[in-house]
Amino acid sequence: MSEQAFSAADTAFMARALQLARCGLYTTQPNPRVGCVLVRAGEIIGSGFHARAGQAHAEINALHAAGDARGADAYVTLEPCSHFGRTPPCADALIRAGVQRVVVAMRDPNPLVAGQGLARLEAAGIRVQSGLLEAPARALNPGFVARMERGRPWVRLKLAMSLDGRTAMASGESVWITGAPARRDVQFWRARADAVLTGIGTVLADDPALNVRLGPEALGISGPVRQPLRVILDSRLQLAPDARLLQLPGLVQVFTCSSTDEHRIQALEAGGVVIRQLAGPQPALETVLQQLGRDGINEVHVEAGPTLAGALLAQGLADELLIYMAPHLMGALARPLFGLPLERMEERVGLAIQDIRAVGEDWRILARVTPADH
């Protein structure tokens, strides 16, 4: 592979490819979001992005847009695939098109590719470079990268709190902590997730919908809005067949440790619910996430109470916090954000703030959970 030296023009073209990749933010699951730009003599002659699984990849769309790509440079946000999946290998398509150079932001962590696409291009005499704007490319696909590298999805905890870190009054009253703009903003995060996960306690207390209530125009997409899989952790199988989330479009999975209530199991399965039975007194969180990873789930959006949120943090299974902070105080008797009974300073959970911005009258904080030895 040639020396990694990039010009300002290279960076600009890759930045454009990343912009295109974001067009698939709400639609590509379980595939990664990928953009491609074809350039000849300093001018873009074709561009494209991957829109939905089973449809053409970014490179193919860019090649179709260009018509003739001979002698062009290709800027791709992810290594071109080298294997037959639902579509033929993109590396072969670039070779047939006669491109002279391929610049990729990052190698594909998928073991089916993992450098083989770049090797195939090089073997065909094409100059290959990688690593240009790799960090933003990885940040665009945290779930796909996590699933390929560690076998489980990226877990994002969504929480709403008062300025003093409270999520509900002692009675359980919590509607509404934040304003309408913040609640609408949450819909975009649900829309980008593969699955929305919660515990049975939240379902019994709030009877939530956990669906995406934005249309294609609001999301800036063509075609139908994809509803994320709704996942419920329900150790004793308390979910009622008439729960609101079961009456809405979209798939529902329940992880339970109960096998005794055959009548309820049959009633839920008759309503289209997939029941997954696990051993133990309650579903093991890591086992659940590993299973979701095997199912092709990239990003898990968690909307749950302090017990489940605290358990995910305590077990090192939460990757990111999405916190909406409202400008009011709820007092010392109100319920805390996490059920996380820490006693010593060294037990603190480290966070790296990624973004803070106003959403209506509330503030949205996006933070990554840092490793324990950070």
Positions marked active-site = 59
| Other beta carbons less than 10 A from residue 311's beta carbon | 19
Name the DSSP class of 140.
H
- Numbers of helices and strands, H then E, in the chain: 12, 16
∠ at Cα 127 (124, 133), nearest 5°? 130
Q: Residue 46 burial by CB count (10 A; 0-12/13-18/19+): exposed, middle or buried?
A: buried
Q: What is the enclosing helix (H) or strand (E) of 139?
A: helix 134-140
Partner residues linked to 33 by β-bridges: none
Integer Cα distance of 25 and 32 in angstroms: 9
Bridge-based pairing state of the strands 362-369 and 229-233: unpaired
Bridge-based pairing state of the strands 252-256 and 320-326: unpaired
3-state helix, strand, coil in the chain (%, to 5): 30, 25, 45
Integer Cα distance of 85 and 348 in angstroms: 44
**Sheet with strand 320-326: strands edge to edge:** 274-277, 252-256, 229-233, 195-199, 299-303, 154-162, 320-326, 362-369, 351-359
